[in-house]
Structure 1
């Protein structure tokens, strides 16, 4: 469900406060592609299979519709619009669209805004949705990074997640991406799936590392309400994932990834080098600006956050009528922005400046240090950086620091 928020103007116009300082902060573009070949049992994202789309929406015309929103974004942001530093195609499965469509959308963004030198351009992909020729077309069209949803190397775990690719396909896809000229390749992994053992998880990590990515994301499975997985857990077919097991699996990930030369830079993300870090996600975690294009996509500029209508048919109809697809928005108060900064930046290996913590929460900060949840040396230098144990309790530490 999307939040309620306040009505968004049909022009997409943003308040003057949002545009103040535009260009002084990093600016990115998120493009949501809501199409999937099948629905994974754990997924609650705004996605649609062919059978769920209904009339008025089609993957065939989707690129043209998104390009209409790109042009709208340029009109809304005006002459002060900065060049784009990062572009991220997410979903859904962006690579269900022809590579030429993704390249056309990227070229529209570049044509309207310009891309900053060395801009990072990422697409998510299911391993089975790409081929060597497809990846070569993306690379030639300006994409610099690809993120594959591997999830697991064990077939029985993939079955629980309703993933359709075979365990070895993700490894092959990484090699194809490298052959196509991609220097930056991520593998997304999920741990703590019902039926997964420690040995299964170790095998997944070892298989992922052997494939040769320069980035790994590892997330604990969350059972989201309304998903097929949640229904199976509710009926007793599968056990609810255990939080203590999840903590053990995280420690295994840290052990194996660190031994392979990867370093954490955000709680769920490890990179082999600084250049391998996902700059687009860092933009989110450091409260940068981005325009979210596509059904249900969220954008944020200067403390104003908005979200588009969810269904692709409604999204297309709004743009065809010359209206913004934004459903609603909210203007964050200074207090809300300060809270979000604590919640997000504390997740980073660079940590949070101590002066960003409210005075009333300083005792909680001292307790976290005494309890071994914050690193000592960064604390002395004026930053709150989580220890390994602190990463396991990050949400509760952040809540205490909000005050």
Structure 2
């Protein structure tokens, strides 16, 4: 059910932003719609998600109406702070958004459209479990305005899926991709590498299968063991082995090699696309620090330097909104040091990197040593940008520590 929420100051019952915070109409605005429902809980997952037995007073069939109440509240908050902006991107994440009927997702999207408007070129993404996508579902989502589907493939190898507690039929990935294509949607597939027992050949097979699907975008994430998950407990008890860092590095390099040959360009440490037009604009908004509002239990938001987050459980979320109150559990305004660290942490992950002249003091002086160590591209540094080499991508945390002493 996700990690603990951060501490922060209380949020007024009406959700108002702090005094003096005004909306910058020139800044892009993204919308995240969290659907916190899953059929089963995957052993590695630390997201704020719930199976039917964990809902305790919340109902899936009422969820769209509840979330629409938060959209209405957000519109009022933003209007008081200087006005709304059309959404540049909308992202349905989870959980499994496609566990809800397509009509519910369409109503939520229509609520965003009515409250804020959508830019003519808005990117609208729905995450999907392969078992929940049919031609009819994909067609209904496309008719509602969805432009992109992100399909949770994770692996093409059944025993690797079993190690991750993924229950979908691997054959349904191809069916889901075909359905999305027939509906005219852009397609991304998501992969995870480093599962217990997964070999380099297993990973090669998954990559080859993903490439053969001819998606527009592929995400490949290293498995991270999160405290409190089933997988963390299994590793602690010695039932399965922890991920091997060296093997995961080999897997990353294999992914970069095979995807590059297949025509995919890396644009963020864990993401590749067939050209800039197929990048995930919504995720790029997070990495570059624009504004977004996250709707749903446990969702996080960022508006002009203010960060706030909602109560975690769907029942508590629904109760707050039914009472006409904001579901926000807390908020903060990071200081300059925290903002600087976050900027380096996020912007060095993307292909364009970040300006050298935005680094402070010793961090700027560290650039030469990082070039010598093969972690930063020398030519880009001469042009005033910090851009990671492939080795730097593998050691991104070390680069951030050097740039933010």
TM-score range relative to shorter protein: over 0.9
Q: CA deviation at 1:18?
A: 3.6
Partner of 1:64: 65
The one of 220, 242, 261 aligned to 1:259: 261
The one of 157, 163, 176 aligned to 2:166: 163
Partner of 2:93: 90
Give, in whole Å, the separation in 1 of the partners of 2:48 and 2:262: 35
The one of 191, 197, 200 aligned to 2:199: 197
Paired residues of 1:216 and 1:271 also in contact (CA < 8 A): yes
Bigger shift: residues 161-170 or 149-158: 161-170
Q: CA deviation at 1:117?
A: 1.3
Partner of 2:233: 231
Unaligned runs of 5+ in 1: none
**Counterpart check, 1:32 vs 2:34:** yes
- Aligned pair in 2 of structure 1 residues 253, 30: CA closer, same or farther (>3 Å)? same
Partner of 1:135: 138
Deviations 1:288-307 (A, max 9, x none): 00001000000001111000
TM norm structure 1: 0.98
Give, in whole Å, the separation in 2 of the partners of 1:121 and 1:191: 27
Deviations 1:151-201 (A, max 9, x none): 00000000000001122211221111101111x111110001111111100
Partner of 1:246: 248
**Counterpart check, 1:73 vs 2:74:** yes
Instruction: Name the SS of the counterpart of 1:66 in structure 2.
Output: helix
Moved >3 Å (runs of 4+) = none
TM norm structure 2: 0.97
Q: CA deviation at 1:334?
A: 2.1
Partner of 1:316: 318
Give, in whole Å, the separation in 1 of the partners of 2:192 and 2:156: 10
Deviations 1:353-372 (A, max 9, x none): 00111022122221101111
**Counterpart check, 1:11 vs 2:14:** yes
Count of paired positions: 400
Bigger shift: residues 364-373 or 343-352: 364-373
For residues 181-192 of structure 1, what are the structure 2 equivalents within 5 Å?
181-182=184-185, 184-192=186-194
For residues 204-223 of structure 1, what are the structure 2 equivalents within 5 Å?
204-223=206-225
Paired residues of 1:146 and 1:186 also in contact (CA < 8 A): yes
Give, in whole Å, the separation in 1 of the partners of 2:257 and 2:215: 17
Paired residues of 1:223 and 1:230 also in contact (CA < 8 A): yes
Give, in whole Å, the separation in 2 of the partners of 1:280 and 1:178: 20
Give, in whole Å, the separation in 1 of the partners of 2:99 and 2:170: 20
Paired residues of 2:134 and 2:175 also in contact (CA < 8 A): no
Unaligned runs of 5+ in 2: none
Q: CA deviation at 1:19?
A: 2.2
Partner of 1:393: 395
Q: CA deviation at 1:335?
A: 2.1
Deviations 1:220-262 (A, max 9, x none): 0011111111111111111000111111100000000000000
